[in-house]
Amino acid sequence: MARANRGILYVDEVNLLDDHLVDVLLDSAASGWNTVEREGISIRHPARFVLVGSGNPEEGELRPQLLDRFGMSVEVRTVRDPEQRVQVVEQRSEFDADPQGFLSQHQAEQDALQAKLVAAQELLPKVTLDYDTRVQISQVCSDLDIDGLRGDLVANRAVKALTALEGRTEATVEDLQRVITLCLRHRLRKDPLESVDSGSKVMKTFCAVFGLAEPSEQTGQQTIALTNGRR
């Protein structure tokens, strides 16, 4: 966590973490500091990071306290298209054969993405989201009976971030529709025997509050697949 300070901390199989490690992550996420107490050692260091985790919900549930710390949740599905699967396999083989050459081949794309992110960070303070839309976001969270205000905060931040990433300064309802499921689906109250909701409940409530027609199931799946999430 010291190395991840002011950076990204990625946790694989985050739902299988031991309880004491979950407690450490929760304390650090809340305070921005990590304290290490061992025999003869007492260290306290800053630990402010973007937390990214992955895992299979079928292998074990994530503790609600930690799950709430993730701003956005993305459902990742296995690629079904044969041509895309072949492309993934071939690119992996190219990387294994010549890692540096593969990285060099895609460096221009990486530089362009980095420049786009930097531009979005500079534009973000200028992005606006009108008051009525903010009220409706909170109405969606209230109707879904979501605990706390993190859902409201993340949804407001996410729609502004998406708008800035696309080089605009005025967030729209259409922008919000693209991110609202990612911000709220993992915050829903659910039966202990149920898995994480697919997002249909969030989208149904969103459309009801904003007076929109519900998208087809296929459209909803595409939105999940194409939208990136962050804490």
Domain boundaries, the chain: 7-67, 124-226
pLDDT recorded at residue 229: 40
Count CB atoms within 10 A of the CB of residue 63: 17
pTM: 0.81
Of 126, 226, 120, 129, nearest in space to 181 by CA: 226
The dihedral built from the CA positions of residue 185, 220, 142 and 168, taken in this order, carries a sign that is positive
pLDDT recorded at residue 57: 81
pLDDT, average across residues 1-24? 90
What is the distance between the alpha carbons of residues 22 and 14, in angstroms, rounded to a whole number? Answer: 9
pLDDT recorded at residue 48: 92
More confident residue, 58 or 132: 132
Tokens at residue 221, please? 């799946």
For 208, the 3-state DSSP assignment is helix
What is the distance between the alpha carbons of residues 62 and 26, in angstroms, rounded to a whole number? Answer: 12
Per the annotation, the verdict on 150 as an active-site residue is yes
Per residue in 54-100, pLDDT tens? Answer: 988 888 888 888 888 899 998 888 899 999 999 999 999 999 999 99
Helix (H) or strand (E) holding 35: strand 33-38
Per residue in 161-203, pLDDT tens? Answer: 999 999 999 999 999 999 999 999 999 876 555 555 568 899 9
pLDDT, average across residues 128-134? 96
CATH of 124-226 among 1.10.10.10, 3.50.50.60, 1.10.3720.10, 1.10.8.80: 1.10.8.80
Alpha-carbon separation of residue 212 from 136, 141, 226 (angstroms):
13, 17, 21
Q: Residue holding tokens 């190395």?
A: 3
Pairing of strands 41-46, 33-38: antiparallel
Catalytic site residue from 48, 63, 134, 150: 150
